[in-house]
Structure 1
């Protein structure tokens, strides 16, 4: 007997769990209640040292929301996304309502196809520049989700931002708490359903990199290589601040990452300067006139690397029967 084809909701949930997260912690839970899908923050998977306010975890959940809605729409359904910020339920981050969607235009098919190919590339990238055409598409992707993507190379902020990234990485590498937390989530076996396996690590840098790879994501068993000395770096911003803005920024980030993947570009997020108090404040101040910065994205051309695994959808999803549901 053959297994039934997965439903559109099944496909959307499988896409949601492919979202990126710090150390591949996957800090999300989903509740399916008829035509409603709730996205919740899983506090047990928040990095308490690197992300005590759960900003990066909410960013990851926002990326999962984007994948959910994208694949639902790609299947011809309507998907109305509502980002929430309720003090009474601070971990309920978003609700997606599904309808028949008759007559709705489907999203860019290339983005939906990129969901299961997108991955973090921790390896050195080539010297081939990111074209202005690609940059324009990435900026447009951010704008389409209500955010801003600003490329920093060539700007006066570039040197300051990269210096803060190096400062933050040095602080984390010397801090026993950061090292212990990273150790819990990295160096996993290749098929581990969460965390970062050693096969996904990058090589040690031959000379100090302008934008540092996390020391916890380096594999000393592979040959040392030189990373790009003038990496293409962009910052994801929102005009708003607060919990809802973190989630919104996740939608912005994921659309940018999928657009980059569809264009054949490699990406990785540079999070260290957001995670240490001594660098987060100066970083926020640097962009105060533009908006709230949420993460830095390293973009370029590189060879594909092994993707990290994800937990099964059933492990992170509750399906409620009609009798269990109540209006929210």
Structure 2
């Protein structure tokens, strides 16, 4: 059998599944797909405790972002995305996932327990979601001036709803302009905060970095030389006006802006929002639609309150996306499964 854990987790082969191995060995292999999920600043804030009967998904608070994400809302959403990746992979390999969210209310680091509930026969749509895992990656570059078909937008809305969230999609110029203005305001507010700048700079990586986390310069369209200077510049200077102008143009020029929202705003809602987000992103990737995050209006509390007026007074906006078609972009790195798997 081939090595199931290559140096680059993106190269994990679906054909190397150890079908005759023990359950812990099979689950360890499946974690190799879970870790390909998106996360804020590519922090990858998850751990997987594998036991004889299943696994536990744990929040790795050592990878928290206390300035931009003081309540760990985005951290938990990232873990929800990894959980959805895991369940998609389980179904592909004919394992029915039995998922219990927050099984121990006294332990908020224990986000979910996952067991094999039986043999599963995946649907065609579920198989397509699995095949989309390696297609999905964040694209921060400008999108093509090409509309997304209404039928596919309807499917993305349905995917979010089936996972316990709501996806509001905006393709008209007035709505996009209003959202783009909030995004730009968020840029200016965040960049004025030296603590925010320091936190962001700590997760920026040179293009040739050996690190398997964080945001490499190439993910932002930056060349090798600038990627080495990036952390210093971001940490030292207030770059808010320049970033605001760039992001406002990027948002207003995208075919679609999206706001994912939930009924509640607690840990369970955040975890479910992450699962819903991942469902949307995988389905979008299957359609050839790319996405990136412009979450400034949610990360800045006063702007989040303004965003509520757009999605409805009874909703809690959790993430803002831009969606469209673009050229292929390089994937951001991932830590191998051996770095995130612990024994129960």
TM-score normalized with structure 2 length: 0.81
Three-state SS of the structure 2 residue aligned to 1:116 is coil
Alpha-carbon deviation of 1:197?
Answer: 0.6
The corresponding residue for 2:205 is: 187
User: Judging changes above 3 Å, is the alpha-carbon distance between structure 1 residues 2 and 12 closer, same or farther for their aligned structure 2 residues?
Assistant: closer
Alpha-carbon deviation of 1:11?
Answer: 3.5
Distance 2:87 2:330 in 1: 26
* Cα deviations by residue, 1:115-135 (Å, 9 ceiling, x for unpaired): 122111010111101111210
2:78 alignment partner, one of 50, 57, 60: 60
Distance 2:173 2:3 in 1: 54
1:241 is the counterpart of 2:260? no
Alpha-carbon deviation of 1:228?
Answer: 6.3
The corresponding residue for 1:25 is: 43
2:291 alignment partner, one of 267, 290, 302: 267
Deviates more, 1:165-174 or 1:93-102: 93-102
TM-score normalized with structure 1 length: 0.85
Distance 2:43 2:271 in 1: 16
Structure 1 runs (4+) deviating above 6 angstroms are 207-211
1:41 is the counterpart of 2:59? yes
Distance 1:148 1:211 in 2: 29
Structure 1 residue runs of 5 or longer lacking an equivalent are 215-225, 321-328
Distance 2:306 2:242 in 1: 22
Distance 1:152 1:211 in 2: 20
The corresponding residue for 1:127 is: 145
Larger helix proportion of the pair = 2
Structure 2 residue runs of 5 or longer lacking an equivalent are 5-15, 19-25, 224-240
How many equivalent pairs are there?
307
Equivalent residues of 1:236, 1:253 under 8 A apart: yes
1:297 is the counterpart of 2:321? yes
User: Judging changes above 3 Å, is the alpha-carbon distance between structure 1 residues 2 and 45 closer, same or farther for their aligned structure 2 residues?
Assistant: closer
The corresponding residue for 1:136 is: 154
Alpha-carbon deviation of 1:212?
Answer: 5.0
Equivalent residues of 1:123, 1:202 under 8 A apart: yes
Equivalent residues of 2:27, 2:54 under 8 A apart: no
The 5-angstrom pairing of residues 1-328 of structure 1 reads 3=3, 5-7=16-18, 8-84=26-102, 86-102=104-120, 105=123, 108-154=126-172, 158-190=176-208, 191-202=210-221, 212-213=246-247, 227=250, 229-231=252-254, 232-320=256-344
Distance 1:80 1:314 in 2: 24
* Cα deviations by residue, 1:145-204 (Å, 9 ceiling, x for unpaired): 122111023397544432221111111122211111111001333453000111111369
User: Judging changes above 3 Å, is the alpha-carbon distance between structure 1 residues 104 and 23 closer, same or farther for their aligned structure 2 residues?
Assistant: closer
